[in-house]
Amino acid sequence: MKPARAPRDVRSGGRLLHVDVAHERVDDRRPLQLPELLRPGDVLVLNDAATLPASLVGHAGSEPLELRLLGRQPDGSWRAVAFGPGDWRTPTEQRPAPPRLGAGTSLQLGELSATIDEVSPLSARLWRVRFAEQGARFWSALYRSGRPVQYSYLARALQLWDVQTAYALESVIDEVIFIIGPTVATVLATQWHPWAGLGLALVTGVPGTLALAAQRGSQPIPHRVSRLSAARPAMPWAPVVILAAVSFALGSMFAAAEVSTVAFSSEQHAKSYAGVLLACWSAGSMLAGLITGTLAWRRPPIPRVRVGTALLALVMVPMSFVGSMLAMGVALFVAGFAIAPTLIALFAAIEHGVPAARLTEGIAITHTGLAAGLAPGAALAGLVIDAHGASPSYLVALGSGVLAALAALALPRSFDPLDRQPSDGPGGAGELSVF
């Protein structure tokens, strides 16, 4: 059996090892075949825990060491396994033992300071440590200093935020559609027939929706919830509702900016180029999405949501002062760079903070917030356009951006995967089975 040496881009394309004890047989299956292997009465154990950057490299005095966190204790200390010099490329069983240290020894692990509370009598590798940093300071320093636990059979080091690539790709595809769609629709509507743009949306949208609904390659494994199963995990409603409010404000901002841009093009006697301006906006977002997907983010999603919403508000400030189509195209292109990274961080926050059993619900609430904000944003921008013109109407988008940034400030720092129990899979911190 050969282990996978890198994470798959499509998780459902991985392999599932099926051990049939009754018939003394071992089969290779696919994850989507799991429902076929289950029978009534079977117990299915799912790991929906978060992954921590649980490998900390540091030293005790002049002695180098690596500490892998295993789990947080009720008293605030952490169980950990210690290793001597080396890195993940060396098989765990060949790693040298840590320096012989006793309780009370101080450790410096990147930006984290810790003290050994206890060395287990079972093994000199098993320690219980206590960190000087607490609360948000601890989690922030852990993300900056830690790395995912690695395994020597991997071709490359795992990145903690591998999931970001999937979200970034989705955002890039969205922006490609928004680059092509508005441009083609406005040209057809202004040069051929006013209904041509709506016809294009109908002809492409309906078949695309049906095709998406028909395909099964990217869907999670379907499962029924038994009435006899354990209670559903609690939904962290406070941060989810705040993220929905952020999404509502962002949806309002996007709609207001689009309506204002169409009106601006009309005032500049270049209505047929409104789609080009919107394409410039989307192009900036697309490039930012591509860049975001290539980065290994070490900062948690919530702070990135705060920064992104603040930037989205700031880039709307100059729009009311732009007086030409060329300048507006450049301004929208630059403004677009704040869109995709913010949306990627927003959905990553949902994915990492909501229990896996309720992830679809959490994402649906966020999408609903975005969609619900479109109508009021467009309507309010339209009222300003009718009363004062296109340029002042960009202030509606600015106001919505400010509301999104203020709502993001209300997000609790505890809405992170760090507050859930760590995983025992590759890249996570789990029980003793991690090594």
CB neighbours of 199 closer than 8 A, spacing ≥ 6?
188
3-state secondary structure of 21: coil
Question: Can you tell me the distance from the alpha carbon of 435 to that of 150, in angstroms, rounded to the nearest whole number?
Answer: 10
- What is residue 142's three-state secondary structure? helix
Question: In this structure, what DSSP letter does residue 220 have?
Answer: P
Within the chain, all domains assigned CATH 1.20.1250.20 are found at 163-208+235-419
Using N-to-C axis directions, what is the helix angle for 325-336 and 237-267, rounded to 10°?
160
Whether the CB-CB separation of 244 and 369 falls below 8 Å is answered with yes
- Residue-wise burial string across 104-129, b where 16 or more C-beta atoms lie within 10 A, e elsewhere: ebebebebbebebbebeeeeebbbbb
Residue 408 CA to residue 390 CA, distance in Å, equals: 28
What's residue 129's pLDDT? 96
Domain with CATH 2.40.10.240 in the chain: 55-158
For residue 43, what are its two tokens? 């117990």
What CATH code would you report for 55-158? 2.40.10.240
What does each of the 435 residues of the chain score in pLDDT, given as a tens digit? Answer: 566 666 665 555 567 888 888 888 888 787 778 888 888 888 887 765 556 788 899 999 999 999 999 888 889 899 999 999 888 788 888 889 999 999 999 999 999 999 999 999 999 999 999 999 988 788 888 888 888 887 777 766 666 655 445 556 666 677 677 667 766 777 787 778 888 878 888 888 899 889 888 877 666 555 455 454 456 678 889 999 999 999 999 999 999 999 999 999 999 999 888 888 988 998 898 888 888 877 767 677 899 999 999 999 999 999 999 999 999 999 999 999 999 899 989 988 887 788 767 888 888 999 999 999 999 999 999 999 999 999 999 999 999 999 999 999 999 875 644 444 443 333 333 332 222
Write down the CATH number for the domain with range 163-208+235-419. 1.20.1250.20
Residue 278: partners with Cβ closer than 8 Å, 6 or more residues away: 178, 182, 183, 258, 261, 332
Tokens for 81, please give them: 């396994």
Measuring CA to CA, how many Å separate 390 from each of 192, 263, 265, 327? 25, 5, 9, 15
CA angle at 230 for the pair 226 and 233, rounded to the nearest 5°: 110
